[in-house]
Amino acid sequence: MTPNEFLDKAWQESGPKLISGFSRPVYHNVMGLLRGRKYDKKAYGGMIRHTEAGMLTTWASQVPRGGVIVEIGCYGGLSTSYLLRGLKQHGGTIYSMDPFNSDLDKQAELTDNCVPLDNKPTKALVEQRLEKNGFAGMFKLIEGFSQEVAANWDPSIKIDFLWIDGNHEQAYRDFKDFEPYLNPGARVAVHDAHPRYGYQEVVRDVRKIFAEGQWEDMEHVKSIIAGRLIK
């Protein structure tokens, strides 16, 4: 099945949710129950579903020992906490970026209106949260916009898992900006990529992302589309 055929099946209006060989809804639901309920979604102002959270933890636990995860769009640190929980199994570092509550004029100009700009979580608040959750020393929060972070990226830092959940109008750009730093076999996962409960711009961009290169282990978990980039 090509990535395009996979996406057509994942997003079809009706019919079986099981996509042979690729998508595992029973497994995803079990992971959601076991691993996707640890952190208080309401308190963090988080936007991921339990199954999605469970699979973020699972994928993060599969990153090679000492590996690197990059998260675009940290917000209150909910998805960051699930990623760190998985990453902690073998050790590694997550670089998570978000403008947080800085540069609010620029955020207002560029916003896709997915989060309110009043009372946005601060970097300091999220740092405290992650430390309290037991992840001290495992994360680096970067206050800024992904384009600028990518432009200044240290090329010696290679990425094993790229999680894209920032500005929903630029998922493809985020992928292209960080693509040069992906290790072979790196997982890429994109949030809000579903025509019915995501953003049309992300749906469009996900088609473009997965039309390029060679992908393995594609998965569809609610509004996440993920795959491993072989080359």
> Residue 208 CB, nearest distance to ligand SAM (Å)?
18
- Closest by CA to 101, choosing from 129, 80, 123, 71, is 123
Which residue of this chain has its Cβ atom nearest to ligand SAM in the complex? 73
> Residue 167 CB, nearest distance to ligand SAM (Å)?
3
How many CB atoms are located within 10 Å of the residue 88 CB? 16
**Residue 72 within binding range of ligand SAM, rule CB under 6 A:** yes
**Residue 97 within binding range of ligand SAM, rule CB under 6 A:** yes
**Residue 75 within binding range of ligand SAM, rule CB under 6 A:** yes
Residues 190-229 that bind ligand SAM (CB under 6 A): none
Give the torsion sign (CA, 184, 187, 188, 194).
Answer: positive
Quick one: tokens of 231? Answer: 């080359």
Report how many residues bind ligand SAM under the rule CB under 6 A: 19
How many CB atoms are located within 10 Å of the residue 214 CB? 10
**Residue 78 within binding range of ligand SAM, rule CB under 6 A:** yes
Quick one: tokens of 184? Answer: 């072979």
- Closest by CA to 80, choosing from 44, 51, 112, 42, is 44
| Cβ nearer to ligand SAM, comparing 6 with 139 | 139
| Cβ nearer to ligand SAM, comparing 9 with 49 | 49
User: What CA–CA distance (Å, rounded) separates 209 from 118?
Assistant: 32
**Residue 98 within binding range of ligand SAM, rule CB under 6 A:** yes
Among 57, 79, 133, 223, binds ligand SAM (CB under 6 A): 79
Quick one: tokens of 195? Answer: 């025509």
Say if residues 44 and 11 touch (Cβ distance below 8 Å).
no
What is the per-residue binding string for ligand SAM in 149-188, x denoting contact by CB under 6 A?
----------------xxx---------------------
Residues 39-68 that bind ligand SAM (CB under 6 A): 46-48
User: What CA–CA distance (Å, rounded) separates 177 from 91?
Assistant: 26
User: What CA–CA distance (Å, rounded) separates 213 from 210?
Assistant: 7
Interface residue list for ligand SAM (CB under 6 A)? 46-48, 72-73, 75-76, 78-79, 97-99, 114-115, 145-146, 165-167
